Copies of this chain bind each other. A is one copy, B any other.
Amino acid sequence: MQIISSDELGRRLDITPEQIRKDLATFGQFGRKGIGYDVRELKEKISNILGLQNKWRLAIVGVGHLGGALANYVNFASLGFSVVALFDNNKKIIGSEVNGIKIHAVSRMKKIVAEKSVDIGVITVPADEAQSVADFLVAAGVKGIWNFAPTKLSVPPTVPLVNEDLSVGLSALSYHMSQDKE
């Protein structure tokens, strides 16, 4: 059995051991005082907390640069996610494949989402098209939306929405670089 202490976890993650113990305690009983955490058990519990045992199936709407990059993103598989469908309105690319995944017309979304058992809709269209794509995805029955368009979307409370805003990370970097200059 492989054991890791909160001290060692903290060191690797740049978080205080106290914070690690506190965060994990939110979700119940983890590890043993003075001994540490069983690595395999910890990984399995965290994976279950995050719902990663579900093997979610993704559809990407908008196969531009970002959508294409996500369709090729290898790290999803290691977390149990898989991209099973792509959608776009551009007739020139409908019917072609990216990374072995077929691009469908947006008008066929309802049918394909059902056929492919899509769980998560990924929005990588321009901001002004994002809300209508979100509406289509919700109508097609997806259970969650991952939005990369830089706009605030309105979706029913039953459909969890996570916004991915690349400018947040870059602004954080800018902040730290400015602090260091002073």
Chain A residues with a Cβ under 8 A of chain B: 12, 49-52, 54, 56, 64-66, 68-70, 72-73, 75-76, 79, 81, 119-120, 143-146, 150, 152, 158, 160-162, 164, 166-167, 169-181
Contact = CB atoms under 8 A, between A and B. Distances in A.
B146 A169 contact: yes
Given A68-B69, A166-B75, A171 B52 contact: yes
Contacts of A175: 49-51
A42 to B, nearest CB: 15
Contact of A164 (B120, B160, B169, B174): B169
Contact of A176 (B152, B160, B181): B160
A72 B81 contact: no
B160 A119 contact: no
A160 B146 contact: no
A170 B146 contact: yes
Contacts of A181: 51
B177 A173 contact: no
Given A65-B69, A177-B160, A171 B50 contact: yes
Given A72-B65, A73-B166, A79-B171, A178 B54 contact: yes
A9 B9 CA distance: 37
Given A51-B177, A66-B69, A120-B173, 18 more contacts: A51-B174, A51-B178, A52-B174, A64-B69, A65-B65, A65-B68, A66-B73, A75-B167, A76-B170, A79-B167, A81-B170, A143-B177, A143-B180, A146-B169, A160-B180, A162-B170, A162-B172, A164-B169
